[in-house]
Structure 1
Amino acid sequence: MFGIDYVVGGYAVRRAVDGRRADRGHVFVVADVEVTNRDDDPTTIHAVPAFFVAADGTEHPPVPPEDWLVYGMRLLPQVRHHVRVLFEVPAMLAPGGAVRFIRTEQPAPQRLHLAS
Protein backbone atom coordinates (compact mmCIF):
# COMPACT_ATOMS: atom_id res chain seq x y z
CA MET A 1 0.00 0.00 0.00
CA PHE A 2 1.11 3.53 -0.66
CA GLY A 3 0.24 6.93 0.70
CA ILE A 4 0.49 8.64 4.04
CA ASP A 5 -0.85 7.18 7.29
CA TYR A 6 -2.10 9.41 10.10
CA VAL A 7 -2.64 7.80 13.51
CA VAL A 8 -3.41 9.51 16.80
CA GLY A 9 -0.89 8.31 19.36
CA GLY A 10 -2.79 10.04 22.16
CA TYR A 11 -4.33 13.32 23.15
CA ALA A 12 -4.76 15.51 26.19
CA VAL A 13 -6.96 18.42 27.22
CA ARG A 14 -5.08 21.53 28.41
CA ARG A 15 -6.07 25.06 29.42
CA ALA A 16 -2.71 26.41 28.21
CA VAL A 17 -0.05 25.18 25.78
CA ASP A 18 3.44 26.69 25.53
CA GLY A 19 2.32 29.84 27.37
CA ARG A 20 -0.72 30.30 25.16
CA ARG A 21 -4.09 30.26 26.96
CA ALA A 22 -7.35 29.11 25.42
CA ASP A 23 -10.22 31.59 25.18
CA ARG A 24 -12.62 31.87 28.10
CA GLY A 25 -14.73 28.72 28.41
CA HIS A 26 -12.50 26.84 25.94
CA VAL A 27 -9.66 24.33 26.22
CA PHE A 28 -6.99 23.03 23.89
CA VAL A 29 -7.12 19.42 22.76
CA VAL A 30 -3.52 18.47 22.00
CA ALA A 31 -3.26 15.45 19.71
CA ASP A 32 0.01 13.62 19.13
CA VAL A 33 -0.22 12.39 15.55
CA GLU A 34 2.11 9.83 14.01
CA VAL A 35 2.63 10.48 10.30
CA THR A 36 4.13 7.69 8.19
CA ASN A 37 5.07 7.86 4.50
CA ARG A 38 4.32 4.40 3.03
CA ASP A 39 5.74 5.30 -0.39
CA ASP A 40 9.22 4.32 -1.55
CA ASP A 41 10.19 7.95 -2.22
CA PRO A 42 10.37 10.96 0.10
CA THR A 43 7.40 13.33 0.02
CA THR A 44 6.44 16.67 1.55
CA ILE A 45 3.27 17.51 3.46
CA HIS A 46 1.89 20.95 4.20
CA ALA A 47 -0.81 20.15 6.76
CA VAL A 48 -2.31 17.30 8.75
CA PRO A 49 -5.86 16.86 7.39
CA ALA A 50 -7.41 16.55 10.83
CA PHE A 51 -10.32 18.03 12.73
CA PHE A 52 -11.82 17.47 16.17
CA VAL A 53 -15.41 16.30 16.48
CA ALA A 54 -16.76 17.52 19.81
CA ALA A 55 -19.25 15.65 21.97
CA ASP A 56 -22.17 17.50 20.32
CA GLY A 57 -20.98 16.64 16.78
CA THR A 58 -19.53 20.06 15.91
CA GLU A 59 -16.27 20.06 13.97
CA HIS A 60 -13.27 22.15 15.02
CA PRO A 61 -10.29 22.66 12.67
CA PRO A 62 -6.69 22.78 13.92
CA VAL A 63 -5.39 26.08 15.20
CA PRO A 64 -1.84 27.40 14.81
CA PRO A 65 0.92 26.40 15.46
CA GLU A 66 -0.10 23.29 13.43
CA ASP A 67 0.16 25.34 10.23
CA TRP A 68 3.78 26.34 10.67
CA LEU A 69 4.94 23.15 12.40
CA VAL A 70 3.89 20.94 9.51
CA TYR A 71 4.13 23.19 6.44
CA GLY A 72 6.84 21.82 4.17
CA MET A 73 7.63 18.83 6.41
CA ARG A 74 9.65 16.30 4.45
CA LEU A 75 8.67 12.68 5.09
CA LEU A 76 11.24 9.99 4.45
CA PRO A 77 10.01 6.60 3.19
CA GLN A 78 8.79 4.15 5.84
CA VAL A 79 9.74 6.50 8.72
CA ARG A 80 7.32 7.51 11.47
CA HIS A 81 7.24 11.25 12.25
CA HIS A 82 5.49 12.81 15.26
CA VAL A 83 3.44 16.00 14.95
CA ARG A 84 1.46 17.87 17.60
CA VAL A 85 -1.90 19.22 16.43
CA LEU A 86 -3.94 21.71 18.51
CA PHE A 87 -7.70 22.16 18.51
CA GLU A 88 -9.54 24.82 20.54
CA VAL A 89 -12.96 23.61 21.67
CA PRO A 90 -15.54 24.61 24.29
CA ALA A 91 -14.54 23.06 27.63
CA MET A 92 -17.87 21.28 28.09
CA LEU A 93 -17.63 19.59 24.67
CA ALA A 94 -14.04 18.30 24.78
CA PRO A 95 -14.73 15.11 26.79
CA GLY A 96 -16.19 12.45 24.53
CA GLY A 97 -14.83 14.04 21.34
CA ALA A 98 -12.57 12.42 18.75
CA VAL A 99 -9.85 13.39 16.29
CA ARG A 100 -10.75 12.52 12.71
CA PHE A 101 -8.86 12.70 9.43
CA ILE A 102 -9.86 13.53 5.87
CA ARG A 103 -8.36 11.08 3.39
CA THR A 104 -7.36 13.29 0.47
CA GLU A 105 -6.00 10.64 -1.88
CA GLN A 106 -9.56 9.55 -2.68
CA PRO A 107 -11.42 11.24 -5.59
CA ALA A 108 -13.70 12.89 -3.01
CA PRO A 109 -12.39 13.41 0.54
CA GLN A 110 -13.75 10.88 3.02
CA ARG A 111 -13.77 11.34 6.76
CA LEU A 112 -12.41 8.39 8.69
CA HIS A 113 -12.47 7.88 12.43
CA LEU A 114 -9.03 6.44 13.11
CA ALA A 115 -8.65 6.97 16.84
CA SER A 116 -10.12 8.79 19.76
Structure 2
Amino acid sequence: MTSPVTLNSDALALLHLLDQDQPGSFAKLIRLFAADAPALLSRIELAHERRDPAEVKHAAHFLRSSALALGATDLAEAALRVEHLDPEHFGAGPAELKLAQLRVALRDALLSLLEQTPAL
Protein backbone atom coordinates (compact mmCIF):
# COMPACT_ATOMS: atom_id res chain seq x y z
CA MET A 1 0.00 0.00 0.00
CA THR A 2 1.28 3.46 -0.87
CA SER A 3 1.36 6.45 1.40
CA PRO A 4 -1.49 8.95 1.05
CA VAL A 5 -1.09 11.62 -1.58
CA THR A 6 -0.97 15.21 -0.41
CA LEU A 7 -2.91 17.50 -2.67
CA ASN A 8 -1.84 21.10 -3.14
CA SER A 9 -3.71 23.00 -0.44
CA ASP A 10 -3.85 26.25 -2.46
CA ALA A 11 -5.51 24.49 -5.39
CA LEU A 12 -7.97 22.78 -3.05
CA ALA A 13 -8.78 26.08 -1.37
CA LEU A 14 -9.56 27.65 -4.76
CA LEU A 15 -11.75 24.70 -5.69
CA HIS A 16 -13.64 24.97 -2.41
CA LEU A 17 -14.15 28.71 -3.03
CA LEU A 18 -15.52 27.89 -6.45
CA ASP A 19 -17.82 25.35 -4.84
CA GLN A 20 -19.13 27.98 -2.41
CA ASP A 21 -19.96 30.27 -5.33
CA GLN A 22 -21.30 27.45 -7.54
CA PRO A 23 -22.38 24.54 -5.33
CA GLY A 24 -21.53 21.15 -6.77
CA SER A 25 -18.84 22.48 -9.10
CA PHE A 26 -15.99 20.84 -7.16
CA ALA A 27 -17.63 17.43 -7.34
CA LYS A 28 -18.38 17.97 -11.03
CA LEU A 29 -14.73 18.79 -11.78
CA ILE A 30 -13.59 15.68 -9.94
CA ARG A 31 -16.14 13.54 -11.82
CA LEU A 32 -14.92 14.93 -15.15
CA PHE A 33 -11.31 14.30 -14.21
CA ALA A 34 -12.09 10.78 -12.98
CA ALA A 35 -13.80 10.05 -16.29
CA ASP A 36 -11.13 11.60 -18.54
CA ALA A 37 -7.85 10.75 -16.80
CA PRO A 38 -7.93 6.96 -17.36
CA ALA A 39 -8.65 7.58 -21.05
CA LEU A 40 -5.64 9.90 -21.23
CA LEU A 41 -3.49 7.23 -19.61
CA SER A 42 -4.71 4.75 -22.22
CA ARG A 43 -3.84 7.21 -25.00
CA ILE A 44 -0.36 7.62 -23.54
CA GLU A 45 0.19 3.87 -23.27
CA LEU A 46 -1.10 3.21 -26.79
CA ALA A 47 1.01 6.02 -28.25
CA HIS A 48 4.03 4.63 -26.41
CA GLU A 49 3.39 1.17 -27.88
CA ARG A 50 3.06 2.72 -31.35
CA ARG A 51 6.23 4.77 -30.82
CA ASP A 52 4.32 8.02 -31.39
CA PRO A 53 6.19 10.68 -29.40
CA ALA A 54 3.89 13.53 -30.46
CA GLU A 55 0.81 11.77 -29.09
CA VAL A 56 2.61 10.73 -25.89
CA LYS A 57 3.65 14.34 -25.37
CA HIS A 58 0.20 15.75 -26.15
CA ALA A 59 -1.78 13.36 -23.92
CA ALA A 60 0.74 13.58 -21.06
CA HIS A 61 0.68 17.38 -21.26
CA PHE A 62 -3.11 17.40 -21.06
CA LEU A 63 -3.08 15.02 -18.10
CA ARG A 64 -0.43 17.14 -16.36
CA SER A 65 -2.43 20.34 -16.86
CA SER A 66 -5.58 18.74 -15.50
CA ALA A 67 -3.72 17.34 -12.51
CA LEU A 68 -2.19 20.72 -11.70
CA ALA A 69 -5.60 22.40 -11.88
CA LEU A 70 -6.85 19.99 -9.21
CA GLY A 71 -3.76 20.20 -7.02
CA ALA A 72 -2.52 16.67 -7.79
CA THR A 73 1.14 17.65 -7.97
CA ASP A 74 2.58 14.12 -7.73
CA LEU A 75 0.52 13.10 -10.75
CA ALA A 76 1.54 16.27 -12.58
CA GLU A 77 5.23 15.50 -11.95
CA ALA A 78 4.83 11.91 -13.18
CA ALA A 79 3.03 13.16 -16.29
CA LEU A 80 5.81 15.68 -16.92
CA ARG A 81 8.41 12.91 -16.84
CA VAL A 82 6.40 10.94 -19.40
CA GLU A 83 5.77 14.07 -21.47
CA HIS A 84 9.53 14.47 -21.88
CA LEU A 85 10.40 10.84 -22.58
CA ASP A 86 13.14 10.38 -25.12
CA PRO A 87 11.55 8.51 -28.07
CA GLU A 88 14.71 6.41 -28.30
CA HIS A 89 13.81 4.95 -24.90
CA PHE A 90 10.28 3.90 -25.88
CA GLY A 91 9.85 0.24 -24.99
CA ALA A 92 12.97 0.23 -22.79
CA GLY A 93 13.25 -0.04 -19.02
CA PRO A 94 13.41 3.67 -18.13
CA ALA A 95 10.32 4.48 -20.18
CA GLU A 96 8.43 1.50 -18.78
CA LEU A 97 9.33 2.61 -15.26
CA LYS A 98 8.04 6.14 -15.89
CA LEU A 99 4.79 4.74 -17.29
CA ALA A 100 4.40 2.50 -14.24
CA GLN A 101 5.00 5.49 -11.97
CA LEU A 102 2.37 7.44 -13.92
CA ARG A 103 -0.17 4.63 -13.43
CA VAL A 104 0.43 4.60 -9.67
CA ALA A 105 0.34 8.40 -9.43
CA LEU A 106 -2.96 8.49 -11.30
CA ARG A 107 -4.51 5.85 -9.05
CA ASP A 108 -3.31 7.64 -5.91
CA ALA A 109 -4.47 11.05 -7.15
CA LEU A 110 -7.93 9.75 -8.01
CA LEU A 111 -8.30 8.13 -4.60
CA SER A 112 -7.16 11.29 -2.82
CA LEU A 113 -9.38 13.55 -4.89
CA LEU A 114 -12.39 11.34 -4.32
CA GLU A 115 -11.72 11.42 -0.56
CA GLN A 116 -11.67 15.24 -0.67
CA THR A 117 -14.85 15.49 -2.72
CA PRO A 118 -18.15 16.30 -1.11
CA ALA A 119 -20.78 13.63 -1.81
CA LEU A 120 -20.53 12.49 -5.38
TM-score, normalised via structure 1 length: 0.30
Structure in which a larger fraction of residues adopt strand: 1
TM-score, normalised via structure 2 length: 0.30
